Structure 1
Amino acid sequence: MINKIESIGTTSTGKIIYSSDDCQDILSLPVTKIIDVFKPSGVIIFRGFGVTHEQMKAFAALFSSKFVQDYKRPQVDSDKFIHFVDAGMENCVPHSEHAYSPFRPDAVWFCCAFPAAQGGETTFCDGIRVWEELSEETRQLFISKKLKFYYEDIPAVVLKRFTSTDAASTDDIKRMLDGLEGVKYEIKEDESASMEYVSSAVVKTKYSNQDAFANSVLALHAITEKVAFEDGSIVPDEVIEEIEKTTDRLMEHISWQAGDLAMIDNSRFMHGRREFNDQRRQIFSTLSNLKF
């Protein structure tokens, strides 16, 4: 039974689903009802269920066909699918998870074990609205040019994690990469790989098939100070500034409470984090592809 649903903020379609009592098990919620809420909203916060990171994964499994590993973050379970989020305390600009790679998951799940005393809110903005509010000139730029990402010396053990088994052979890795759109690669003698990935910054949302500016442009710019198009040209600084202003204007946030669980459509929403200064903050995540 779902007791209460309300909207998050004023600029997004996100929803909060509240527990009907202090003892309600999140695994008792009706899956079909959650799907009906999630498809149009794209973000759901489950509050009052006292969710642990183990329950997060069990709940996510009800909706998922596959979990996706995040090898850059500390892993806290034996299957290596639950990750500890906080590698730092600084502000994180909005981004879609793994949008810089061909292994982009459908959904990002967050579970709060302990919120920061001040700050540390997870932020999110709707890529559909961002795309609608960017200038026509900027939209035409991203329609006409795709982004290009290049990676050297990817260990074989990392690539194996994206196949069906950690025991995958080099031939299995090649078959996987051959089936991915926008990918060129070279397997080296030590079985590591170099990979080029080309993709649009504008993606079709999973459920409404609408254009969404849901990508990692701002995150990559924050790290490298430049983001490259396929033709080698760089996204202009004035375009980055426009994107920053637009996402700032549309940004909503999750003021975490212990036991909260968030479910985010990674094909539509970008998420980030506000700065904090509290080492007790604990947020866990898992990534998955959805089966509905």
Structure 2
Amino acid sequence: MTTTSPITHRIPTARRKAPERLLAFTGHLVQAQEGETLDSVSADDFHFAMEQKGVALFRGFEATPERFGDFVEKFSSRLILDPTRQSYDRRVQRVLSGTPGIELHSEHSNSPFTPDYIWFYCRRAAGDRGQTTYCDGLEIWRALSETSRTFIEHVRFVYHRLFPEMFWKVFVAFMIDEDIPVEEINRDHLEKLFSGLEGVRIELTEDNQLDFSYATYVYNQLPGGHRALANSLTGPYPGQTITMDDGSPIPHWLMGELKSLYDLHTRDIPWRDGDIAVLNNKRMMHGRRPSDDMGRELFSALSYG
């Protein structure tokens, strides 16, 4: 197996016909040799990519959704469910194709169950638009103004959402590891799952929706003393509201600076059919560019390392 980083060192200039934006890919490319399978990917390769690069692209391994699921389990201590997505099997979920763009976000960082990794398998890539994007939170943290960095270091942000009854019951049933049917999940199971978690407030409404709030910092402490700005201040969260810990709104000047930095530091994952991408979710945010190609087909998984 051959490993190289970055991707521009992997594709000879004479053969490169891809769009220029491929040059911006900063991740770790693992290119399969003929006949090589995902089983040959070593723990050393995987952990190097996650710790040093934050994003990895595995290409040419003849992946399927089932092999993708096996690959996810190989490097994961446990899986996390996204109740808003359609499940393919117990490990893998489908990513809705859609046409609108999706703003950058760190998956589930608006909850105490933030996964270490987010995994994607591309069975069919989009055309020249609709690419999955990513943004390195290490770069954003270093690029912040001193005023913004100091502000973010000292305050917590509060995410607030309402979850329909079926959404929270499916999530709780998956996470409590007690093999309880979804229809038997109740308030006791919900409170057991969230018991003792810092920053969490939960309440059931009269129609059994989950009124959920979570107060947290919007950066992560990484090995080596580094910090990464990786959060869900933007992203695909209908109905979500965010305030400061004291109930005040997020300052406009802060969000303006963040969105400007996101625009400057966002890169594309250069999908080809059959690729697998993994992102360190505590460091990287991801999103999607708009597209009118409804044939794009992605699968995903979330996990702890």
TM-score, normalising length: structure 2: 0.85
Q: Which deviates the most, 99-108 or 232-241?
A: 232-241
Distance (Å, rounded) in 2 between the aligned partners of 1:162 and 1:190: 23
Poorly superposed stretches of 4+, deviation over 4 Å: 8-13, 187-192, 222-226
8 Å contact kept, 2:203–2:211: yes
Partner of 1:99: 109
Q: What one-letter code is carried by the residue in structure 1 that aligns with 2:40? A: S
The offset of 1:53, in angstroms, is: 1.8
CA, structure 1 residues 283+191, in 2 after alignment: closer, same or farther (shift >3 Å)? same
Superposed counterparts of 1:106-121, under 5 Å: 106-121=116-131
Number of aligned residues: 284
* 1:49 paired residue number: 61
Letter of the structure 1 residue corresponding to residue 176 of structure 2: T
Instruction: Provide the C-alpha distance between the structure 2 equivalents of 1:94 and 1:229, rounded to a whole number of angstroms.
Output: 20
- Matching residue of 1:19: 32
Q: Distance in 1 between matches of 2:33 and 2:163?
A: 51
| Number of the residue aligned with 2:15 | none
Does structure 1 conserve the Cα–Cα contact (< 8 Å) formed by 2:235 and 2:287? no
Output the CA distance in 1 between the equivalents of 2:25 and 2:97: 28
The answer for the alignment partner of 2:72 in structure 1 is: 60
**1:257 aligned onto 2:268:** no
Deviation at 1:171, TM superposition (A): 3.6
Greater shift after overlay, 47-56 or 257-266? 47-56
CA distance in 2, matches of 1:224, 1:120: 24
- Cα-Cα RMSD: 2.4
Paired letter, 1:285: S
Task: Tell me the distance in 1 between the aligned counterparts of 2:42 and 2:249.
Answer: 47
Residue number in structure 1 paired with 2:230: 214
Partner of 2:246: 231
Corresponding residue for residue 145 of structure 2: 135
Q: Quote the offset at 1:227 in angstroms.
A: 3.2
Give the equivalent residue in structure 2 for 1:181.
198
Q: Which amino acid aligns with 2:261?
A: T
- Is 1:37 aligned to 2:49, yes or no? yes
| TM-score when normalising by structure 1 | 0.88
What SS does the corresponding residue of 1:103 show, helix, strand or coil? coil
Task: Give the Cα–Cα distance (whole angstroms) in 2 for the partners of residues 217 and 118 of structure 1.
Answer: 28
State the 1:33 CA deviation: 3.1
Distance 1:226 1:7 in 2: 38
Find out whether 1:149 has 2:162 as its counterpart.
no
Per-residue CA distance 1:79-119 (angstroms, 9 max, x = gap): 2x312112511111111001111111110000100011221
- Distance of 1:189 and 1:278 partners within structure 2: 41
Contact 1:84 1:285 in 2 (8 A): yes
Q: CA deviation at 1:42?
A: 1.2
Match of 2:219 in 1: 202
In 2, are the aligned partners of 1:11 and 1:250 still within 8 Å (CA)? Answer: no
Closer, same or farther in 2 for the Cα pair 1:125/1:17, shift >3 Å? same
With 279-288 and 189-198 compared, the bigger mean Cα shift is at: 189-198
Task: Report how far residue 146 of structure 1 moved.
Answer: 0.9
Q: 1:20/1:87 Cα in 2 relative to 1: closer, same or farther (>3 Å)?
A: closer
Q: Deviations over 1:204-249 (max 9, x none)?
A: 13x44421110011227x8569631111111122322211111111
Structure-2 change in CA distance of 1:118 and 1:100 (3 Å): same
Separation in structure 2 between the aligned mates of residue 138 and residue 223 of structure 1, nearest angstrom = 26
**Identity over aligned pairs, percent:** 30
- State the alpha-carbon separation in 2 of the partners of residues 50 and 163 from structure 1: 34
Matched to 1:117, the amino acid is G
Summarize deviations over 1:5-51 as a string: whole Å, max 9, x none. 12146777521111112x21112222233223332111100011121
CA distance 1:116–1:37, shift in 2 (3 Å): closer
> CA separation of 1:73/1:50 partners in 2, compared to 1, >3 Å: closer, same or farther?
same
C-alpha change, 1:12 and 1:113, in structure 2 (3 Å) is closer
Q: Does 1:122 align with 2:137?
A: no
